[in-house]
Structure 1
Amino acid sequence: MLDIKFVRENPDIVKQNIKNKFQDRKLPLVDEAIELDKKSREIKTEADNLRSKRNKVSKQIGELMKAGDKEGAAKIKEEMARDAARLKELEAEQPVVDEQLKKVMMVIPNIIDASVPIGKDDSENVEIKRYGEPVVPDFEIPYHTDIMESFAGIDLESARRVAGNGFYYLIGDIARLHSAVTAYARDFMINKGFTYVIPPFMIRSDVVTGVMSFDEMDSMMYKIEGEDLYLIGTSEHSMIGRFIDQMIDE
């Protein structure tokens, strides 16, 4: 999620970034966020001023009472009562406005890197590097599940009965191959200097809202019923959450 200060100070950059991502429907959210932020800061300023005034006036009432000026003290008390009522309104309004701002900010996309080519879909992808030449066989390539079934390495029907469509049992050498490829990829990246991490497979809602918008959350993650926990859709969610509320030195 972007820093509201960045959005406030760079609205044109944020809007252009939205256009670059072909999400023009989100353009009004930038001005909405700025207005909500302004309202939030105004509420906070007024509330802080009322609290400061309350502290000063309380001392003043004591001095007036001590001097025998009951009428003057009564007038100030009336004013304090009005201020207290207003402060109560502000304190109730502040979290509502802040929550509205948070929801809007969660939908505004992060700034894409300057090196990323602009394109409406993958048909406009730009080739950065090529390693070798692709081999195109002169025969029809079987579907991957057909290959696995020829080795008796996958059971889709049983998985469908157990969990529904989209699940599978990997069996025998195919299961071993799956583990071997995973191990190869792991060791390859370790040898490239990366650190291997197995993250939590569930995260709390405050971490979820720190890494994605509410719309994305609904489409990508499953909530554990009765618990403040979500199943991660990718390790990215847990890995970002690992550093939540921390400052990382560059």
Structure 2
Amino acid sequence: MLDINLIRENPELVKENIKKKFQDEKLPLVDEVIDLDIKFRQTKTKADELRAERNRSSKEIGLLMREKKKEEAEAIKERIVLINEEIQELEQAEAKLSEEIKDRMMVIPNIIDDSVPIGRDDSENVEVERFGEPLEKPFEVPHHIDIMERLNGIDLESARKTSGAGFYYLMGDIARLHSAILTYARDFMIDRGFTYYIPPFMIHGNVVTGVMSFTEMENMMYKIEGEDLYLIGTSEHSMIGKFIDSILDEETLPQTLTSYSPCFRKEVGAHGIEERGVYRIHQFEKQEMVVVCNPEDSKYWYDELWKNAVDFFRTLDIPVRTLECCSGDLADLKVKSCDVEAWSPRQKKYFEVGSCSNLGDAQARRLGIRVDGKDGSRYFAHTLNNTVVAPPRMLIAFLENNLNEDGTVNIPEVLRPYMGNKEKIG
């Protein structure tokens, strides 16, 4: 959510930003906010004037009563009754106008960084850098489900019976590999100075709307029937929510956190659930990294976060690249974002395994996350997040890149302590 002062003082900047995101249908919202804001301030001014009049009148009543001027005092009391009624009406109007302003402000997208490439959708995202040499295997690489099934590591049919499409049973060495990767990711981030968390896996509705746009909420979140609770789509949701209505001491920043959670997603929209595979599913597990910092430090931490993900994948011998998300591909709260993509020897192309995002002060404004500065100032924090790893999607890249022609899968050295020192499975 933007600062209302920005819309008051520079509405054309806000409109130009909307155009950059190809959301022209939202342009009228800016003028609507300005008009509603004028009415809100006029209403508030009138209410404040009446409160001041009421205070003066109350003092006057006291003086008149001491002077035995009871009739004059009673007349003023009657006037105060009318003032109170008018104030009540104005307060109701204020609340309604405030809610109407907020409803529109929540839909207006955040101001994107000047470095973000302009484009309509993910087809116009821009490759930034590659890490590791993409390898083509000297043999045909099977589909990842075939690899898992040959290793007796996955049962999709039983999952369809119990839960429907988009679920899975992992078994044996594949299940162990899945857990090993997450445990290694946890330790990897702890070694980089991040504090480890296991957060709540359900959050209240006001936290959901504080961390994401309404469109994301509708497409992703599962609501618990009859409860003000939603299953998290990523631990970022509950980790940022941890700071709701907080005032942080500037000296405690940055807060660098890494969290594990299961994730639950409806996956409504253009992609949906794939017919065969574990790339896009309703339930998965993830290790996340989250930073809460000063505004002037958020660009630095953005670079640190995506580098952490790249470094993690490279320790597992998986080639990756970073892809700068264009304006039209950015979710409304994001200032800047890049995808980390892993190489698929089977498809001979890269695919997304994580997303690094700088949200500026958007989440902090919605959730009331403020900072007390050393100079006595108070300001909104900046929040950032990135995926460390999210198996089983990451298992696709892992299995394909470490697959041998005989069907066995190599275990990189850093992962062996988590796999009973096995050098390969199969």
TM-score by length of 2: 0.54
Query: What per-residue deviation string (whole Å, max 9, x for no partner) do you get for residues 83-129 of structure 1?
Result: 22211211222222222222212111222233322221222222222
Q: Distance in 2 between matches of 1:192 and 1:129?
A: 22
Deviation at 1:175, TM superposition (A): 0.3
Q: Distance in 1 between matches of 2:4 and 2:235?
A: 26
Paired residue secondary structure (2:22): coil
Paired residue secondary structure (1:118): coil
* Partner in structure 1 of residue 7 of structure 2: 7
Query: What per-residue deviation string (whole Å, max 9, x for no partner) do you get for residues 166-219 of structure 1?
Result: 001101111011112222333333333333322221111221221123332222
Q: How does 1:40-119 map to 2 (within 5 A)?
A: 40-67=40-67, 69=69, 72-73=72-73, 75-119=75-119
* Partner in structure 1 of residue 325 of structure 2: none
Greater Cα shift, 11-20 or 47-56: 11-20
Contact 1:106 1:212 in 2 (8 A): no
Q: Distance in 1 between matches of 2:16 and 2:213?
A: 19
Paired residue secondary structure (1:128): strand
Question: In structure 2, do the counterparts of structure 1 residues 107 and 191 end up closer, same or farther at CA, with 3 Å as the change threshold?
Answer: same
* Partner in structure 2 of residue 232 of structure 1: 232
The aligned amino acid for 1:112 is: I
Greater Cα shift, 237-246 or 161-170: 237-246
Paired residue secondary structure (1:133): coil
Deviation at 1:56, TM superposition (A): 1.1
Paired residue secondary structure (1:176): helix
Question: In structure 2, do the counterparts of structure 1 residues 200 and 3 end up closer, same or farther at CA, with 3 Å as the change threshold?
Answer: farther
Query: What per-residue deviation string (whole Å, max 9, x for no partner) do you get for residues 25-51 of structure 1?
Result: 222222222332333232222222212
| Number of equivalences | 250
Deviation at 1:64, TM superposition (A): 3.6
What 5-or-longer segments of structure 2 have no aligned partner? 251-293, 295-426
Deviation at 1:140, TM superposition (A): 4.2
* Partner in structure 1 of residue 131 of structure 2: 131
Paired residue secondary structure (2:127): coil
The aligned amino acid for 2:195 is: T
* Partner in structure 1 of residue 199 of structure 2: 199
Q: Distance in 1 between matches of 2:2 and 2:199?
A: 24
Query: How much is the aligned-residue C-alpha RMSD, in angstroms?
Result: 2.3
Query: What per-residue deviation string (whole Å, max 9, x for no partner) do you get for residues 56-81 of structure 1?
Result: 11222343455455564455344333
> Highest Rg: 1 or 2?
1
* Partner in structure 1 of residue 221 of structure 2: 221
Deviation at 1:153, TM superposition (A): 0.9
The aligned amino acid for 1:182 is: L
* Partner in structure 1 of residue 241 of structure 2: 241
The sequence identity of aligned pairs, in percent, is 65
* Partner in structure 2 of residue 145 of structure 1: 145
* Partner in structure 2 of residue 187 of structure 1: 187
Greater strand content: 2
What 5-or-longer segments of structure 1 have no aligned partner? none
Q: Distance in 2 between matches of 1:31 and 1:104?
A: 10
Greater helix content: 1
Paired residue secondary structure (1:129): strand
Query: What per-residue deviation string (whole Å, max 9, x for no partner) do you get for residues 137-189 of structure 1?
Result: 35543221121111121111111111111001101111011112222333333
TM-score by length of 1: 0.88
Runs of 4+ in 1 over 6 A off after TM superposition: none
Paired residue secondary structure (2:130): coil
